[in-house]
Each structure stands twice: as structure tokens, then as C-alpha cells.
Amino acid sequence: MATKQRIETFINDWANANNTFAKDFSGVISISGKGGIIYEKVRGLRNKGEGLPNQITTAFGTASGTKLFTAVAICQLIDQGKLTLESKIRDILPHDLKTIDAETTVFHLLTHSSGIADYLDFEDKESETQFYDTHPVNKWTTNEFYLPLFNQRPSVFPLGSKADYSNSNFILLGLIIETVSRESYHTYIKQNIIEPLNMIHTGFYATNNLPANTAIGYVWDGLIDEFVGNYFRLPIIGAGDGGIYTTATDMRLFWDGLFQGKLLSKNMLDQFLTSRTRFDDIDGHFGLGVFVIERDGETIYWHDGGDYGVNFHTAYFPSTGIVMTVLSNFGIKLLDFNNNLMSLLASKND
């Protein structure tokens, strides 16, 4: 297991070699083990206009990190006998699923093997800008809102023939949670995951009404050469595919609760963690809503998220109990940093 000194050296060396990271990183890097905190770094501002600094208890957006919560919720409903992995979504949802293959199951959605087109698949920046002009972010308040954005688009590959990451899969899973539980998606996640684990700084917050000590996401505006708030670039509130806010401390509670059996049965947890599919452009495999990767003989479970003004990565190392969480509210690229840090934490060398 990497020592605090090795972690500090790695992060300092990375900062010295990557000027953008050294200059613009704003957020939290947290690494904890069974015995407590191993390394923490807090930097930057949660509110640039008022000069308010980030804190270890600051909540950050997670973008697609939300998919972990959605997947666990679906697995809970399977545990309760209300669903199966083989359940066909047309038999569950009351919606008219126009071009979606009639044989599509919950399994296909969880493993991104449905072939359903991603509603965020844009040809270029211009088409993306036009899309948000006609779909203003203040309207994005429910999972149902998203359905017309992909419901009539053709499949991008035959059902079950491969896997390719699509946010639309998890919008449909959000709708399934609502239909089966008879609760709103946000209410179900709050009552069945957030509250049982006492994740007091985690929730679906509206970007125009963020609670105290929550980080505003910032994106670079080339017209004025300045970072500005991401209010007009993200849905006003999250859905099944993204948008929950959380802290590094709460992600420790999430991983511990998951592996201690507080959320899923032992059998369901084993199924959740089992490698199922593989993406062409991502190292490792995918389980039922979680990435699975081997590094230096260590199995690591992880998920990440990235959007305008949001960078999130969390990973769990079961052999050591390490939880690594990186949260940032400035739009800089952290993919290589997160991958290299995971490799360091998996290393057997002291």
C-alpha cells in the first residue's frame, strides 16, 4: 500500500509536470483506509465571486457518478423481488418506447449493452449549442423529460452485441425505479441510500438553489477569458444518469455501506461487482453499474463523472479498504491523474 509520503510525492510531481493542474485545480483529493485518513488535499474556491474556499465537507457535483446510486437502487429492487435482470423494460414502463428494441432488459441497461442512442451524442459544438438553445436547462427536472430526446433515435448497434456507454440507459433505469417503487427517483435515492448511510452532505440540489458549503461548478469562457458558473450548461437538477452532489466523506460512507451489506444482499452485491461487459475506449470491465479493473493484482471498483465544471472520480480497493475520491469544480481534465493515482494506490511497493 502506498504511503502518505509516496502519495504526496506523486501529487507534487504531477502538479510540477502539468501546469494546468497546478494552476487551476480546485477541489478535494481524499484517500482513506480502514484506519482513517491517509491523505487529504483541499484547494481552491467553492464560490469564486465571494472568495469562499473549498473545505473537506464541501459538496461537489458528480455528473455520471450518480450512476452508482441508480444502479444500486435497481439492484435493491431486484433484491426485493420487484424486478429481475431479465425483466423486459417494455413490460415495466408505461411509456411508449418507440424505436427501443422490444427485447431490451434491465441487464442491457445496467451494462450499457442496449444499443440505445445517447441523448448527449452531438456532432460538434455548434449542434450542442443549438440543442441547449431549444432545450433550456431549467426544464430538465425529471427523468421523463429526457425520454423524447432519444426515444425515436435508431439503435447504434444490435441489442447485446457489444457495450457502449450511453446516458440514456440510466435515464430509463431512473424511470424504472419510479415505476416500480411508486416514488419519485430523487425520493427513492434519498430514502433508500442517502439516509440509511447518513450521507448528510449528499443530495440532488438545484443549480439555482445550492445549499451552504456546496461548490459552484466553473467553466472557461473564452470570450471574457475567465471562469464562469456552469448554471446554463447543466440540467437544473440531476436525473438517473447524473447530477447528485456529494463529499469525499460521504463517498467513504457509500463504499463502506455497500461492502458491509447495508444496501444489498451478499448475492446481489456479488452480481453487482461481477465483470459483464467491456468498452472499447475504457480500460477494464463493467459490472452492473460499476467499473472493474485489475492493477498490480488488485481488483478496483470505481466510477467517475465529468461535465461542465464537474470532475469526479471515486474508487474502492477491497483488499486494503482504501477509498479514493477526487472532486473538482473547475473544468480541467483529470483522467490521466486519476488513473495514475489508482495505479499507485494498488502498488504493492511501499
Reported as a single tens digit per residue, the pLDDT across 79-102 is 999 999 999 999 999 999 999 999
Lowest mean pLDDT among 13-27, 270-284, 292-306: 13-27
pLDDT computed for residue 19 by the predictor: 80
- Helices and strands (H and E) in the chain: how many: 12, 13
pLDDT at 14 over 70: yes
- List Cα–Cα distances, 62 to 10, 50, 176, 248, 299, in angstroms: 24, 23, 22, 11, 23
pLDDT computed for residue 218 by the predictor: 95
pLDDT computed for residue 127 by the predictor: 75
pLDDT computed for residue 1 by the predictor: 61
* Spatial separation of the C-alpha atoms in residues 156 and 96, rounded to whole Å: 19
pLDDT computed for residue 147 by the predictor: 96
* CB neighbours of residue 313 within 10 Å: 25
pLDDT computed for residue 22 by the predictor: 76
* Spatial separation of the C-alpha atoms in residues 204 and 193, rounded to whole Å: 13
121 is written with which cell numbers? 451524442
For 115, the domain range is 4-346
**At 332, is the pLDDT very low, low, confident or very high (cuts 50, 70, 90)?**
confident
- Nearest Cα to 61, choosing from 18, 22, 28? 28
pLDDT at 160 over 70: yes
pLDDT computed for residue 347 by the predictor: 87
- Please report the DSSP string for 170-216 in residue order: HHHHHHHHHHHHSS-HHHHHIIIIITTTT-TT-B---TTSPPTTBPP
Cα 79 from chain centroid (whole Å): 22
Residue with cell 440543442: 131
* Spatial separation of the C-alpha atoms in residues 287 and 309, rounded to whole Å: 27
pLDDT digits (tens, 9 = 90+) for 295-326: 988 999 999 999 999 999 999 999 999 999 99
pLDDT computed for residue 126 by the predictor: 66
pLDDT at 123 over 70: no
pLDDT computed for residue 227 by the predictor: 87
CATH of the domain at 14: 3.40.710.10
Counted domains in the chain: 1
* CB neighbours of residue 339 within 10 Å: 17
**At 133, is the pLDDT very low, low, confident or very high (cuts 50, 70, 90)?**
confident
pLDDT at 348 over 80: no
* Spatial separation of the C-alpha atoms in residues 107 and 86, rounded to whole Å: 6
Lowest mean pLDDT among 1-5, 103-107, 168-172: 1-5
pLDDT computed for residue 321 by the predictor: 95
The DSSP secondary-structure symbol of 149 reads G
pLDDT at 294 over 70: yes
pLDDT at 178 over 70: yes
pLDDT at 204 over 80: yes
* Spatial separation of the C-alpha atoms in residues 329 and 60, rounded to whole Å: 7
* CB neighbours of residue 97 within 10 Å: 16
| pTM summary value | 0.96
* Spatial separation of the C-alpha atoms in residues 25 and 42, rounded to whole Å: 10
* Spatial separation of the C-alpha atoms in residues 162 and 233, rounded to whole Å: 31
pLDDT at 44 over 80: yes
